[in-house]
Chains A and B, each alone.
Chain A
């Protein structure tokens, strides 16, 4: 059930009404039922996988807690639980990719459907098990409560990748009705809809048009399409996240933020601290630090220190851990070679950035002016866009064609954007919508809470703004079956 479907709106309205009508104690269980229903709508097979995995995760966590209570580490249960989760993720999502890569066409192929949101809830569960093992959060005693957290409908399909310790307490408390929470949540949902349906999906027309037939376009138009993709993917994912966070906020649950105006970043590492933040934080906490703290990495550091000195001992293990993080970050996005290369691309950039940091620090002007920062932002954005060429392309060859159309074709060659299915009316919608998106980002960067500002205004102005945004979504959004004037012309009986 897509967040931007009419079905979801009806579902959400019904859940909301039922939630606040029921007594407070029953509310978390009501959310559990709603979330299970929501997930079941994506397919019953997925529900079975979710049920099985969540039970395995819950039992593993109980095993860790019991072992630790008895003075043991509980490591075996951690390995078992994490192994089960990652093993299933590998089997369902990556087996065919690796088997095909290793054995070619003779490789056996699994035809199991990947449950919706598998990568997200597997990562949440692995994070939970690790946190229990590390003593960051207690093992949940009640399976129903664990399942209610794991499959909480705002985050199960596309994140954010939440931490049990951060969100479960509020979820189980069963929030009391709070007008402010409800309104803040609704404003955020509305903003999410606007980003997704008005900006992302409209930009998507142009991007898909150019990617479908890149040979029709050339020069700046292809470069513009890549920039449009950067804006599309941001509006799409941030829009989805805003709907998820807004929905959760209404129930008194604050999910983790996923974006912090990422395109204002001045370096690639900073971009990754501000883009899909929960994924980055997950890899940092559960892979990067785990590797860095592992016995083999510590021994490697000691050997390097003795042989090559402090700098090598500090940088080489970190570079290796980063390489692993970025390889897996690429793979996490999907079983496709372009994702792997995209991950490697970021790994290389970030490792170079880390190694060159002392040199860059010396070259950096003492006073960072607007122009210098603008240059750094533009440079970072350009590097991110280059990465998007790989990310958006299905094959490396396709990515190569897109790049070659940008850099080798003459400016005058190729067709206009109308050939990509975008016209003047689309530009008339996109220009103000993107300006609004930029203004909101600037306010966010300056620490201005726009929702709070709007909610402080007089009722007619608040309602006016809400109605303008609502009708912008309804009229200018991309949804529905579409309209073809010719089919209405009265002739073809």
Chain B
């Protein structure tokens, strides 16, 4: 009896410790990306019709508020910096716990990366530290992260505890992100000069790496289980032949899976001016994004049964956010 009472006291102490640890963890975690990620969870449940998953190219290339403006489509960029296909798969699994999209647009631009996670550790933290579904988060950590590094993802405080002197009240009062996951870059990066890519013939395809292929298949399976249609996209960029062969390798997989695939590198109708409408060699600027968003919006409208939510009182905030977005960036 004494032993049981002792064990119960230990269990109670451990529980209290875990609660405080969670609080300390949330207090100390880096919140640079918090407004963006939290804005997704702030959307009313099942209100998003189109989810876009992938890397920064999606965030910089497709603006959900412009899709809303032109087509009345309620979309969200559920993407992350340098996020590879395997990471995007877990991002989608998390997102599907909160939204029931009719269409999932999958960015395949990282298909040339054969790894399960991006080499930039802080970006993996940005994705996993803010993920809300505990089971998906655990599954992602145990699947994607090497054993030796897992502790800092399971307990982000292991990484962030040194931030104790940097935490400010403003970290928790940051203005909400209205862009629906998009990140707007105006102008041009000073680092790179952008010239149109020298395209190889589309039929020239390489071999797909096992991991991105496996996760693209899993993503399609997951979407179909959730009742969502899937569309693969590759956004405009300036990349060499090796990358282009990887993008072209998706053609065969898309055909096999019965998934449409738009490789915008070959979409002349887009009429993109690489010199003026790219921020750098990988990302569109606001002018390029407006052009691409318009083209994608038209494609979605023509090919999918996505409702036009404009005028719906439940979506009135989208109009207000669009006005603010226009004023801020255009």
Interface residues of A (CB under 8 A from B): 6, 177, 179, 182, 425, 428, 459, 463, 466-467, 470-471, 474-477, 479-485, 487-490, 492-493
Contact B159 A482 (CB under 8 A): yes
Per the bound structure, the CA–CA distance linking A428 and B24 in Å amounts to 19
Interface residues of B in 19-64 (CB under 8 A from A): 20-21, 24, 28, 30, 32-33, 55-56
Contact B17 A488 (CB under 8 A): no
Instruction: Give B244 Cβ to nearest chain A Cβ, in Å.
Output: 19
Closest to B56 in A: A493
Contact B13 A463 (CB under 8 A): yes
Out of A179, A466, A476, A490, name the residue touching B32 (CB < 8 Å). Answer: A490
Contact A471 B20 (CB under 8 A): yes
Contact A480 B33 (CB under 8 A): no
Closest to A20 in B: B3
Interface residues of B in 68-107 (CB under 8 A from A): 81-82
Name the B residues within 8 Å of A471 (CB-CB): 20, 24
> Top 8 closest A-B pairs, CB basis?
A493-B56, A487-B122, A480-B158, A425-B165, A488-B32, A6-B151, A488-B30, A179-B6
Given A466-B13, A493-B55, 14 further pairs, Cβ under 8 A: A470-B17, A475-B164, A480-B159, A480-B161, A481-B121, A481-B149, A481-B152, A483-B162, A485-B166, A488-B122, A488-B125, A490-B33, A492-B120, A493-B81
Interface residues of B (CB under 8 A from A): 2-3, 6, 9, 13, 16-17, 20-21, 24, 28, 30, 32-33, 55-56, 81-82, 120-122, 125-126, 149, 151-152, 157-166, 183, 282-283
Closest to B282 in A: A493
Name the A residues within 8 Å of B159 (CB-CB): 480-483
Name the A residues within 8 Å of B9 (CB-CB): 459
Per the bound structure, the CA–CA distance linking A470 and B18 in Å amounts to 11
Name the A residues within 8 Å of B165 (CB-CB): 425, 428
Q: Main SS of chain A's interface residues?
A: helix
Out of A6, A177, A467, A476, name the residue touching B164 (CB < 8 Å). Answer: A476
Instruction: Give B106 Cβ to nearest chain A Cβ, in Å.
Output: 18
Name the A residues within 8 Å of B282 (CB-CB): 493
Contact A475 B152 (CB under 8 A): no
Out of B20, B21, B125, B283, name the residue touching A493 (CB < 8 Å). Answer: B283
Per the bound structure, the CA–CA distance linking A488 and B171 in Å amounts to 14
Contact B161 A474 (CB under 8 A): yes
Contact B33 A488 (CB under 8 A): yes
Instruction: Give B54 Cβ to nearest chain A Cβ, in Å.
Output: 12
Closest to B157 in A: A474
Name the B residues within 8 Å of A182 (CB-CB): 6
Per the bound structure, the CA–CA distance linking A476 and B160 in Å amounts to 11
Name the B residues within 8 Å of A179 (CB-CB): 2-3, 6
A-B contact pairs, 23 of them (CB 8 A): A6-B158, A179-B3, A463-B16, A471-B20, A475-B28, A475-B157, A476-B161, A480-B159, A481-B149, A481-B152, A481-B158, A481-B159, A482-B162, A484-B122, A485-B30, A485-B32, A488-B30, A488-B32, A488-B33, A489-B32, A493-B55, A493-B56, A493-B81
Per the bound structure, the CA–CA distance linking A487 and B151 in Å amounts to 19
Per the bound structure, the CA–CA distance linking A182 and B125 in Å amounts to 37
Instruction: Give B56 Cβ to nearest chain A Cβ, in Å.
Output: 4
Contact B164 A493 (CB under 8 A): no
Contact B17 A467 (CB under 8 A): yes
Contact B28 A487 (CB under 8 A): no
Name the B residues within 8 Å of A480 (CB-CB): 152, 158-159, 161-162
Closest to A7 in B: B151
Name the A residues within 8 Å of B163 (CB-CB): 483, 485
Name the A residues within 8 Å of B166 (CB-CB): 485
Per the bound structure, the CA–CA distance linking A420 and B183 in Å amounts to 39
